[in-house]
Structures are given as structure tokens and as C-alpha cells.
Structure 1
Amino acid sequence: MNLNAPRILVLNAGYEPLGLTTIRRGVLLVQSETADTVIPSPLYLRTPSRRVPVPSVIRLRRMVRRPLGRLSLNRRNVLRRDNHTCQYCGQRGRPLTIDHVLPKSRGGKDTWENLVAACYACNTKKGDRTPQEAGMRLLRKPGPPGYLAWITFELQEVPDEWLPFLPTAGVTRVYAD
């Protein structure tokens, strides 16, 4: 999958976000009257005989069950969840590591609730201790990303025209470094 290729936001019949699809599949869904274009994009597909408009947001005509998205627990996704920010000092732009809040040597597991982004200085300062023992505080309690994260994490930027369809509590804009 080319992560830089434009994607189309797919909405359920009730305007609930379901996921992303490729331009080809999105155009086919609209052409087969399985979906309607909600917001067009400035792009066109060219065929030998015509130009086909490419949608930015489509809505399925029939209600489907929303798939439960599961985001892989890996370094990249932990950094994205934490907005590439050290969860101890709040610094951005520094090289980051992944820290176990409860160290592995004390039984800490590789879970969304136990992993945070940390700069090298904070990770070294914390060492093999809990944040409380090291006199450090987390900026926010770690946990699994919201259900929309699995939709938007693969994008470099969430297009502005999608924002009305995404819950404001979870995502406003997502950037990848």
C-alpha cells in the first residue's frame, strides 16, 4: 500500500466513519451506485473517453456493521498516539524511545497502558523505576488509541473536509513525522 496515495473516507449510511479506501475502489463504489459522493475532491481519473471525478468522502447507501478496528501495538503507533512528544517532559523534536511505565524487570508488559514515548534524557533519568519512584509525572495516562486512530494513523494529514465526519473528542488533525 502506498501511504502517500490519496485515500477516500468511507461513511456508513448514517454518516458514521467506517474506514478508508483507495481511489479505485471508491470510484467503483460510486459508479456501481453502492455509495454516493458526499464531498468531491479536485482529482479526476482519466479514461480514453471521459474524466471521472474522484470523491474525497463517500457514504454507503446501505447500513453495514462497523468493523472493530485494532491498531497494532508497535513503536510507530505508540509514538503517533503520543503525538511524538515525550510523555514526561513534553518536549517535541528530540529523538524518542519507548519507555515501559512499569519496567519489564518488574513484570511490566508490552501493552498500550504500559508504553509511552520518552526522550532519551527522561528515559535515562527514570531508569529501572516507576515514574513515582523517579519523581516524574506522566503528561497523560497511557491507553489504547480511540477507535478512529486505526482509520487515520496511516495518513500523513487528515484532510480538512473530513473533520465534520470525525468525532471532535478523538481527532482534529493527525500528523506523521
Structure 2
Amino acid sequence: MRTLVLNAGYEPLAVVSFKRALVLVMNEKATVIEHVEGEPVWGTRSVFDRPAVIVLTRYVRVPTARRTPVTRRGVLRRDGFRCGYCGASASTIDHILPRSRGGRDTWENLVACCLRCNNVKSDRTPQEMGWELRFAPGAPRSTSWTVRGAERADPRWEPYLALAA
């Protein structure tokens, strides 16, 4: 069971275990705004609602330069596991400007790619192949990327994640 943590301004911060969320609530550092019906947590002296969404009582300053790190899994997820060249199912990633020519590992230079297109393209650019990308790759910007753990969102979280999008 996981819990969405909101800052005092109701912007999503993170997803934590319900145990961590319950500790924040019990220490009065957060309050429960959504809970799981019918699944209370029994303590030695009292019963608590199992938190689904909590809001911190004090505002936590978050660095604005929160940049999502580039990973193979992230590129595949961003592109929906579809090849950026032909649209087939993708299992690899491709450097648009090959690394041998100075291409970097950036969101803008990486695209999900099927094995066939990756092998045919080899060490060339899409322009040299006469290919076009189906979309312009870039860094992901939705809250499911900046809030760790929000990619598998609980339906109760949607109103709070939608506010930040």
C-alpha cells in the first residue's frame, strides 16, 4: 500500500509507504485528506485510517531544477515502447546523432527503437537514411515523472496529480 504525499501547497511531492505516511500523521507533520475505506490500521491504543493521500502541515521547499535523469527504461516509457522511426514495438534505444559522432545521452538525442531499425540505421543519422522521426523527442514533463512512484497511480490520487500537470 502506497500513499501520495502533498506539500502544504497541495503540489505532489512523493509516493511513500503507508507506514511512512502513518508515522508522519502520528507525529502531526501531515494530515490525511484521503483514506482507504474499510482498511483501518489498529494500534495498541487507537485505530487509524489507512492513508491514501496526505498533506504536509509545513511547506517543504523543493529545488526548481528537478531534472529527470535519462535512463533506457525512461526513454522506452516516454515513447510508449514504440519505435520512433517505424512505430513497431521497441526494445532498444537509439542515439539520433550517433555517439561516434559526438551524440550525447540526452532526452533530445535518444529515442525508443525496434531492433530492426536500430540495426539498419547503424552509425548514421536519420537524415542520411532518409528517415523521419514520428515525434520530436524531449524531456518528459508530467508529474508522473517528477513525483517518484506516481507512474503506478492510485485512482484516488488523480485529482491531486492533475492539479500539478
- Give TM-score, length-normalised by structure 1: 0.79
Q: Secondary structure at the match of 1:72?
A: coil
What CA distance in whole angstroms lies between the structure 1 residues aligned with 2:141 and 2:2?
20
- Does 2:147 correspond to 1:151? yes
What CA distance in whole angstroms lies between the structure 1 residues aligned with 2:155 and 2:162?
13
| 1:88 equivalent in structure 2 | 85
- Does 2:70 correspond to 1:73? yes
Q: Is the Cα–Cα contact under 8 Å of residues 31 and 56 in structure 2 kept in the other structure?
A: yes
Q: Is the Cα–Cα contact under 8 Å of residues 11 and 163 in structure 2 kept in the other structure?
A: no
| 1:52 equivalent in structure 2 | 48
Task: Give the counterpart of 1:25 among 11, 20, 28.
Answer: 20
The verdict on how the C-alpha distance between 1:29 and 1:162 changes in structure 2, with shifts beyond 3 A counting, is same
Identity of aligned residues (%): 45
Q: CA deviation at 1:95?
A: 5.0
What CA distance in whole angstroms lies between the structure 2 residues aligned with 1:45 and 1:140?
47
> Which aligned pairs between 1:53-132 and structure 2 lie closer than 5 A?
53-68=49-64, 69-91=66-88, 94=89, 96-132=91-127
Task: Give the counterpart of 2:31 among 19, 24, 36.
Answer: 36
Q: Deviations over 1:140-163 (max 9, x none)?
A: 2222222620325x4562122211
The verdict on how the C-alpha distance between 1:169 and 1:36 changes in structure 2, with shifts beyond 3 A counting, is closer
Structure 1 residue runs of 5 or longer lacking an equivalent are: 1-5, 171-177
Aligned partner of 2:50: which letter? V
Higher helix proportion (structure 1 or 2):
2
Q: Is the Cα–Cα contact under 8 Å of residues 18 and 67 in structure 1 kept in the other structure?
A: no
**Which of the pair has the greater relative contact order for Cα pairs under 8 Å at 6+ separation?**
2
Q: Which moved more, 1:135-144 or 1:56-65?
A: 135-144
Q: Is the Cα–Cα contact under 8 Å of residues 76 and 90 in structure 2 kept in the other structure?
A: no
The verdict on how the C-alpha distance between 1:168 and 1:131 changes in structure 2, with shifts beyond 3 A counting, is farther
Q: Deviations over 1:120-175 (max 9, x none)?
A: 122123222111221222222222222620325x45621222111124795xxxxx
Structure 2 residue runs of 5 or longer lacking an equivalent are: none
Q: CA deviation at 1:107?
A: 0.9
| 1:175 equivalent in structure 2 | none
Q: CA deviation at 1:48?
A: 4.5
What CA distance in whole angstroms lies between the structure 1 residues aligned with 2:152 and 2:45?
33
Q: CA deviation at 1:47?
A: 3.3
| 2:9 equivalent in structure 1 | 14
The verdict on how the C-alpha distance between 1:156 and 1:165 changes in structure 2, with shifts beyond 3 A counting, is closer
